[in-house]
Each structure stands twice: as structure tokens, then as C-alpha cells.
Amino acid sequence: YTMNGAVTFEHVTFQYPDTAAAVLHDISFETKPGTTVAIMGATGAGKTSLVGLIPRLYEQNAGVIKIDGTDISTLNTEYLRDSIGYVPQEIILFTGTIRENIAWGKEDATLDEIIEAAKLAQIHDTIIQFPLGYDTILGQKGVNLSGGQKQRLTIARALVRKPCILLLDDSTSALDVRTEASLLQALRNISCTTFLITQKISSTLHADLILLLEDGSLLAQGSHEELIADCALYQRIYES
């Protein structure tokens, strides 16, 4: 079966094996398939740790994580990681063509699939402006991309695998508001549940659900309107 991408956390607590204290405490929330979830919180709040639990990069110490109602600890990890696209906080590009960089990890991707992923990631128009297009070489002897272009290229790399769930760890920080909005709309159009770690209010405005983390706890959750009405910290972030 293919995933719909409804993710549920039920009282999830997590601690890294080598640390003394839990970095996530009693986290509960529920997403609907194909929606956008923004995760906000100060540095060290636990945002990267939270999304890492979804493809089971780590196991929680307590609580249950479900996808489409199924406890993920009962799912095959290969299947899970095939269905979940993960764009890590640290961007990794290598010397090689744009095409090779997007297909990294899915070397059998066709050019059509690569172009489709690049269009969704809002980077196709930039790529075709280079004289060599998708055969443009990146790296020291080739073209150097801007921060935002690199981010979109790594998003395209995740999308070429056609994930049902996409985890973007600060991957839109260098994008302008319009490009980011186009990206999020494109992901909605393909019904890809998107977790977007962000520090920008512009990214949370259109999210269906905002999770606000503070020191590993879920301080507040809801829509922008709900958090503006109820959450003093969110109001402060919004006004700053």
C-alpha cells in the first residue's frame, strides 16, 4: 500500500543514548494527510530530533508514533525511509552535474523524473538558464550556486523519490517569501505531508499546523490564528 502521510505522535519522549536528559518531553500532535506542519523553536529546542524520529533514525524512549494509524515501530525501516523524504539541515552537494546531484541515491531516476522534481522544488527555471542545463557541473571547477539554489536542489533530490512525507530541516531559510509559498503550494498539490522546520513567520502563516517547541516540550500547537490568540511566545516572535 502507499502511505497517505497522516503522522501522529502520542506522548513521545526521547533521549539520545549518550546524553543525561531527555531532549523531547511528552510530545503529542496529529496531522492530516497532505498538510503542511511548521515546526518552530529556538536553537536546541529539539526540532531536528523530532523530525528524525519519523523515519526512525532514532527510537523514542516512550510513547507511540503512527503513520496512517500504524505504529511505525512495526513497519519495515527500508519501506519507511523510501516513503519519507528527508532534507537535512547540512546541505551536501558534490562535484558533478546538477542531474547527478538531484539523482543522488536514486541513480535510476530518468531525466523526466529529475525535471519533475526540480519543477516541484522551484529550481527548474534556474537550471535551464545555465548553458548546459541539467548537465551543468557544480563545484570548484563549475558553477557555484547561491544558498537558496542549493537548498532547492537538495529538496529536488528528496522529491525525485516521490515521498509521501517530506521533512525539510531549515531547508527554506534562504528562499524569498514568494518562492517558499510556491514550493509549499506545489507540495500540497501532490498531497505530500510536509514538515517544515523554520524560524520565519512567513513560513508558518500558511501552515495547517504549527508546533512551537521550547526546551524539548511542545509549548503550543495550532494554526497561526490560534497561536496569535493564545500563545504569548508566538505573539512575541510574530511582532519581532
Interface with ligand TTP (CB under 6 A): 16, 19, 23, 41, 43-49, 89
Q: DSSP code of 160?
A: T
79 binds, among ligand TTP, Mg ion, none (CB under 5 to 8 A by kind): none
Rounded Cα distance, 206 and 167, in Å: 17
Total Cβ atoms within 10 A of residue 89? 13
- How many angstroms separate the Cα of 139 from the Cα of each of 101, 123, 125, 127? 11, 17, 20, 15
Among ligand TTP, Mg ion, none, the one that 41 touches (CB under a kind-dependent 5 to 8 A) is: ligand TTP
Q: How far is the CB of 40 from ligand TTP (least distance, A)?
A: 9
Residue 74 contacts which entry, Mg ion, ligand TTP, none (Cβ below 5-8 A, type-dependent) = none
Q: How far is the CB of 133 from Mg ion (least distance, A)?
A: 33
As measured in angstroms, the least distance from the Cβ of 207 to Mg ion is 18
Applying CB under 5 A, which residues contact Mg ion?
A: 48
| β-pairing verdict for 165-169 and 84-87 | parallel
Determine which helix (DSSP H) or strand (DSSP E) holds 81, and give its type and residue range: helix 77-83
Measured from the CB atom, is 23 or 37 closer to ligand TTP?
Answer: 23
Which three three-digit cell numbers place residue 78?
527500508
Report in angstroms how near the CB of residue 14 gets to ligand TTP at its nearest.
9
